[in-house]
Amino acid sequence: QAGTQFAVASSNLSAAVSLVPHHHSNFLKRVARPHRSGSLVGIFGTGDSQWLAGRLTTCLQGSVSGYLRVVSQADLSCPLEEVQGPVQRGDCHARRLQALDLGVVWFQDETNQPDAPRDAVEREKPAQRLVNVLAVGLPAVGYAGYAGHRDVLRGAQHLRLAANVEELCVLARALLQDIKLRKLASEEALRIAEAYSPRRIAESYLR
């Protein structure tokens, strides 16, 4: 009976309840400026980033002129003396992202819930990491398994999702080899991220 009452109450509330996504953390609107003399690719997510970095390095070798380096978030430094508010942690992250030419937002192991079923994680994981990458205008390839990623990039023309490492290599190579495509992806990233700006999300709470 209690379960039935809960179901009835939930159905009555459903019309009045809406999901408000988390805002991105680039409060100061910092923008990435991809380098043309080489390519620095950053991986966000996955507990075994060294494995993915190795796969990407192998498949992208020879795809770009100049140097190629694939790093994890932990490899990126933050100039603490230059970090500004209102949220210093967010500004630090935005400054790290500014150093990159391409972002890869991949599946992230749930260290706090190691026994969580993967299908549940893919269905419920928020897209905040992807949105933070897009917020600095960084061209990116996201993991297609996350429903949140599919929601964010629904209708995107130049930003794509990959279901596996093979697709990731193809999409990353295309962005690194084509400066025009990278510029279009960067502009699209900023447009998409605007819907998740602190101002827009604050307005959602006030409606």
**Class of CATH domain 21-206:** alpha beta
Q: Is the pLDDT of residue 197 over 90?
A: no
Closest CA to 43 of 103, 93, 90: 103
* Residue scoring higher pLDDT (97 or 20): 97
Average pLDDT over residues 12-31: 67
pLDDT at 12: 52
Q: Is the pLDDT of residue 151 over 90?
A: yes
Q: Is the pLDDT of residue 50 over 90?
A: no
Tens digit of each residue's pLDDT (9 = 90 or more) over 153-183: 999 999 999 999 999 999 999 999 998 999 9
The set of residues, in sequence order, having a beta carbon less than 8 Å from that of 106 and lying 6+ positions away, is 43, 44, 45, 46, 52, 142, 143, 168
pLDDT at 69: 93
The set of residues, in sequence order, having a beta carbon less than 8 Å from that of 135 and lying 6+ positions away, is 24, 25, 26, 94, 189, 190, 193, 196, 197
Q: Is the pLDDT of residue 56 over 80?
A: yes
Q: Locate the domains of the chain by residue range.
A: 21-206
